[in-house]
Chain A
Amino acid sequence: MLRIACPYCGLRDEVEFRFGGPAHVARPGFEVDDATWADYLFVRENPAGLNFERWCHAYGCGSWFNLVRNTLTHEILLAYRMDSPKPALRT
């Protein structure tokens, strides 16, 4: 069971949260070609190591936030607001 520090509510159990996939994926404009659009919609970095991801404290405050988590060890390094820039951590 992960223990996740919601930036608004503090440390809570995993079951209160919903996973929202990768963070910092920039949506391209509508003028791009199909390959670029498919890349945006479907391709995932899927790293073995540090992952920048979105979570929602669904059964708590309801807020979305970003998390840096290691997908090999499940260690959580950092939680930060969604409107913050991507933290400069070595991946």
Chain B
Amino acid sequence: MQRYSFPNLLWQALRGNKGWRPVWREPRLKKSYDVVVIGAGGHGLAAAYYLARKHGIRNVAVLERGWIGGGNSGRNTQVTRSNYFHPVSSSFYDHSLRLYEGLGSELNFNIMLSQRGLIQLAHSEHELEIIRRWCNANRMNKVDSEILSPAEIKRLAPPINLCARFPIIGGFIQRRAGISRHDAVVWGYARAASALGVDIVQNCEATGFEIAGDRVRGVHTINGSVSAPRVLMCVAGYSSHMGSLAGLRLPITTMALQAMVTEPVKPVLNVVINSATVHAYLSQSDRGEIVIGGGADIYNSYAQRGGLSQQRAVISAVLELFPSFSRLRLMRQWAGRVDITPDTSPLMGLTPVAGLYINCGWGTGGYKAIPAGGDTMAYTVANDRAHSLIESFSLARFARGALIDEGAAAGVAH
């Protein structure tokens, strides 16, 4: 792997930048692997990387139907935060945020992490009460969190309109939250995993599983069959379909979550803003675009395109908060297939099929979980035992009634 460093950049520049090589290999699919990961989004690539680096399992293939990071990993709004309510959630997401904090140097790839803070707005006394409870829960869980007055919010986000139809009467901030560059996270993990020997095979759709008794033996693909004693599924919106090929029935609904960006402008907003009441969140990217997201479309969809009515609702919410943005033109709008669970918490761990593991159910918030999802799933696959941080997120929780309802507790935006 060619390392990125100042001397190397200088050396390559002096040679006319003709010495750079592709940053990951394009291997042919072998007949057998120790572990096959289906899905080369952030979660799949991170799991492969940690399998190779922390567990010494390098004979790993990551299969991808399209190109790496072309699904939800390249369609999200790049927000990282760990201010969840329940202890099991906040300890997991804070582990993820801590991994993000060191990820650029670990992968030798600039993920452009900017911990600019995320403000959750309160628009009524009742919401402020709930936010105080939420903020206190964060602090009990050792996640940084502070209540803000409207004046403090105005100082951190000057263009905000405090006297909107739903006036802003307070909020709270997690200062360690922020944004990073989603493509860089995918490419960084792919490059590091490839350098450790992981085969990333693009344009290779998995079409089924080889299962003998109750144990997985391999995966069928459009490029032939691969045998593997352990298989990890990280296919987000296609989890129900892929799971059904292994006989699994999953509590997942696939919906379209859209996002959009405006034309780029000079820096106006150096914080991430989230409102549950008007249901919109936004931040300004390093390129200057205002990146906007909101609620998912109301019906099941695999179409990867959002409906106009939801788009209109999100834009009107944003313009209530930031009237000056009404003069910006919208440049692009897109949608991802998000895999939503009934309790809005992820689904991770072992399955009834021995040797088959799942990592899905991230719904509208999987980007922030990429490092911890990869780390804990690598442990789970390597040891055939759920990592302690994800025991509560098992498929078995639904039959036990042990739901982790972050939708109600921390306003997870599904």
Contact = CB atoms under 8 A, between A and B. Distances in A.
Interface of A: 1-2, 13-15, 18-19, 21, 34-35, 37-39, 41-48, 51, 53, 69, 71-74
18 contacts: A14-B307, A37-B399, A41-B398, A42-B342, A42-B398, A43-B251, A44-B240, A45-B240, A46-B250, A46-B253, A51-B300, A53-B299, A69-B299, A71-B300, A71-B301, A71-B302, A72-B303, A73-B303
Contacts of B342: 41-42
B212 interface: no
B400 interface: yes
A78 B236 CA distance: 29
B298 A42 contact: no
B303 A71 contact: yes
B14 interface: no
A1 B301 CA distance: 13
A2 B298 CA distance: 11
Interface residues of B, number: 23
A18 B252 CA distance: 20
B139 interface: no
B353 to A, nearest CB: 16
A12 to B, nearest CB: 12
Between A34, A44, A46, A73, the greatest number of chain B beta carbons within 10 A of the residue's beta carbon is seen for: A46
Contacts of A14: 307, 309
A34 B399 CA distance: 6
A46 to B, nearest CB: 4
B54 interface: no
Secondary structure type dominating chain A contacts: mixed
B249 interface: yes
A41 B299 CA distance: 18
B333 to A, nearest CB: 14
Contacts of B249: 39, 43
Given A46-B253, A71-B303, A38 B399 contact: yes
Nearest to B400: A34
A44 B399 contact: no
A37 B401 CA distance: 10
B334 interface: no
A71 to B, nearest CB: 5
Secondary structure type dominating chain B contacts: mixed
B399 A35 contact: yes
Given A1-B308, A34-B401, A44-B253, 7 more contacts: A1-B309, A14-B309, A21-B253, A42-B251, A43-B398, A48-B302, A71-B300
A11 B192 CA distance: 54
Contacts of B250: 43-44, 46
Contacts of A73: 303
Given A18-B298, A35-B399, A39-B249, A48 B308 contact: no
A35 B133 CA distance: 34
A74 B240 contact: no
B241 interface: yes
Nearest to B343: A42
Contacts of B299: 2, 19, 53, 69
B254 interface: yes
B307 A71 contact: no
A21 B252 CA distance: 12
Interface in B29-49: none
A35 B253 CA distance: 19
Contacts of A34: 399-401
B298 A19 contact: yes
A73 B240 CA distance: 18
A74 to B, nearest CB: 6
Contacts of A37: 399
A18 to B, nearest CB: 7
A45 B342 CA distance: 13
Between A13, A51, A71, the greatest number of chain B beta carbons within 10 A of the residue's beta carbon is seen for: A71
A44 B251 contact: yes
A74 B309 CA distance: 14
Contacts of B308: 1
A2 B303 contact: no
Given A19-B298, A19-B299, A43-B249, A71 B254 contact: yes
A53 to B, nearest CB: 7
A49 to B, nearest CB: 8
B238 interface: yes
